[in-house]
Chain A
């Protein structure tokens, strides 16, 4: 669906996106994760033909971008860095103008398209209020409605849940999952790990312009080869598993073991009461902290001078 090769963007001397090979397959829910200022937005803008790359190639749905971006965009719904709307017009009016501005879609069904998009994002009850009176969350929903207006095959969303409350975030997540189940490929960016973790099937981590990790989400969460055992008989269990206990805290033992079922049988046969036995997995957070450095909004002193 999206393929980039050695994609690079310089702004003056600053390298914002550096040698990125991004691959988003059809039907995926791809989460682009990275700290603020890591180049996510610039990357997304390049995929959509808003910003021209310094070097490298982009292919979206088989067509080169930005060369033939005009043939691609009609099938793409996008929300980039906050929704844009004319503040003095109503939400409906904004969507109708946007619908009329581009190609495709008869005029007769415009109203129906606008209503359907509004209903999808939970704004069907919208009145004639101008957009300048909207809350941030309402604007965000309106921006999503604009992205959904043409029933896209690919959704590209930059920070789609900005400004939404937890309830709204959940609604949008459900909506995206539903659209994805119906065949829409979703690429979203976020600096919030939980958001990506809850929705996405694939993840790319971007750090200072480089794509430092790109993977299937499941594959990242492999077992660490350790088992966490909780037991009131921690002393006996510890003695029994001597040498394989890596860490002990109260009645909680971290045991190096690759066969949790066997371990459980041995413990029980030895008369150790087991309250809980869990295979330890790496959390996504650990994986990401491993491959990224501190956020770009952090400014550390270069030397020790005060």
Chain B
């Protein structure tokens, strides 16, 4: 069933459109930056962009910072929201369950497909932005400095970018689990995706609000940018660990309720 889900993901034109858009945005930023040479001030968001003008090797990190806050979670919410509700909409949910595919198996397969989608998206974004960074900007692989100002070797940088990719992928799973849960509640993929996005936007707003300080540590997006700490020297693990823990909790809770709801639900679609 997992293989079938992956095949369905690959055969879906929408998957490739979202990959293209995800990769296109950083490339567009790179082109604009290369043409105008107007970079943001150091320390401004998105992270790393100011350093890219002088060194293209850093552009993959900047690209992650560009797609992370909005674009990537939107794509994940759409995929997660479509998981069960989309099958219900096309009438294939009952066909699958009668095949028979166990409800738990189906849910697990959907989750695996979603994780595969996120990982592929992150890898593609980093790969295309590396190419864009190296062709559009001067590349100085030997002269990379970390955020803390200490020099990094190219090996160190590669390792840290891989770690950042994994962290970004894990960060998306919380939103994905919420979307998957909502997808078992409704027969409308749109409603499920929008619901997950509403949760995302709420979290993003509260993170910036000082009055929400007491709930801030528990918000799913609170530690999203903690992967930047991977580029410090020494690496600052505190927020990264907390971010991973928060995502694990969100995934466990929402997958749990998604499973409980889906396994006992009357399939009327």
Interface residues of B in 61-118 (CB under 8 A from A): 87, 90-102
Answer whether residue B267 sits at the interface, using C-beta atoms and an 8 A cutoff: yes
Q: Which residues of B contact A83 (CB under 8 A)?
A: 91, 95
* Stretch of A84-92, A163-171, A193-201 at the chain-chain interface: A84-92
B90 lies within 8 A of A80 (CB)? no
- Shortest CB distance B194–A (Å): 22
Interface residues of A in 33-84 (CB under 8 A from B): 45, 48-52, 69-70, 73-74, 76, 78, 80-84
Q: Which residues of A contact B90 (CB under 8 A)?
A: 84-87
Answer whether residue A97 sits at the interface, using C-beta atoms and an 8 A cutoff: yes
* Stretch of A22-30, A98-106, A114-122, A246-254 at the chain-chain interface: A98-106
A102 contact from B91, B99, B266, Cβ within 8 A:
B99
B8 contact from A76, A84, A86, Cβ within 8 A:
A86
Distance, CA A83 to CA B95, complexed state (A)? 8
Distance, CA A98 to CA B7, complexed state (A)? 12
Answer whether residue A173 sits at the interface, using C-beta atoms and an 8 A cutoff: no
B12 lies within 8 A of A78 (CB)? no
Distance, CA A267 to CA B13, complexed state (A)? 79
Q: Which residues of A contact B97 (CB under 8 A)?
A: 49-50
Distance, CA A100 to CA B93, complexed state (A)? 15
Q: Which residues of A contact B95 (CB under 8 A)?
A: 83-85, 98, 143, 146
Q: Which residue of B lies closest to A89 (CB)?
A: B11
Answer whether residue B151 sits at the interface, using C-beta atoms and an 8 A cutoff: no
With contacts A85-B90, A88-B12 taken as known, whether A45 is within 8 angstroms of B100 at the C-beta atoms is no
Answer whether residue A191 sits at the interface, using C-beta atoms and an 8 A cutoff: no
Answer whether residue B20 sits at the interface, using C-beta atoms and an 8 A cutoff: no
B267 lies within 8 A of A50 (CB)? yes
Q: Which residues of B contact A73 (CB under 8 A)?
A: 98-100
Interface residues of A in 201-246 (CB under 8 A from B): none
Binary interface profile of A, 270-299, with partner B (CB < 8 Å = 1, else 0)? Answer: 000000000000000000000000000000
With contacts A84-B95, A98-B95, A100-B3 taken as known, whether A52 is within 8 angstroms of B101 at the C-beta atoms is no
With contacts A50-B97, A73-B98, A100-B3 taken as known, whether A85 is within 8 angstroms of B264 at the C-beta atoms is no
Answer whether residue B127 sits at the interface, using C-beta atoms and an 8 A cutoff: no
Answer whether residue B4 sits at the interface, using C-beta atoms and an 8 A cutoff: yes
Answer whether residue A93 sits at the interface, using C-beta atoms and an 8 A cutoff: yes
List, sorted by A's number, 24 A–B pairs whose CB atoms are closer than 8 Å.
Answer: A45-B268, A50-B266, A51-B266, A51-B268, A52-B264, A69-B100, A70-B100, A70-B102, A73-B99, A73-B100, A74-B100, A80-B94, A83-B91, A84-B91, A84-B92, A85-B91, A86-B90, A88-B11, A100-B3, A101-B1, A101-B96, A102-B99, A143-B95, A146-B95
Given contacts A73-B98, A97-B8, A103-B100, could you give 5 more A-B pairs where the C-beta distance is less than 8 Å?
A84-B95, A85-B90, A97-B4, A101-B96, A102-B101
The 4 lowest CB-CB distance pairs between A and B, nearest first, are: A84-B91, A102-B99, A73-B100, A84-B92
B residues neighboring A (CB under 8 Å)? 1, 3-4, 7-8, 11-13, 87, 90-102, 264, 266-268
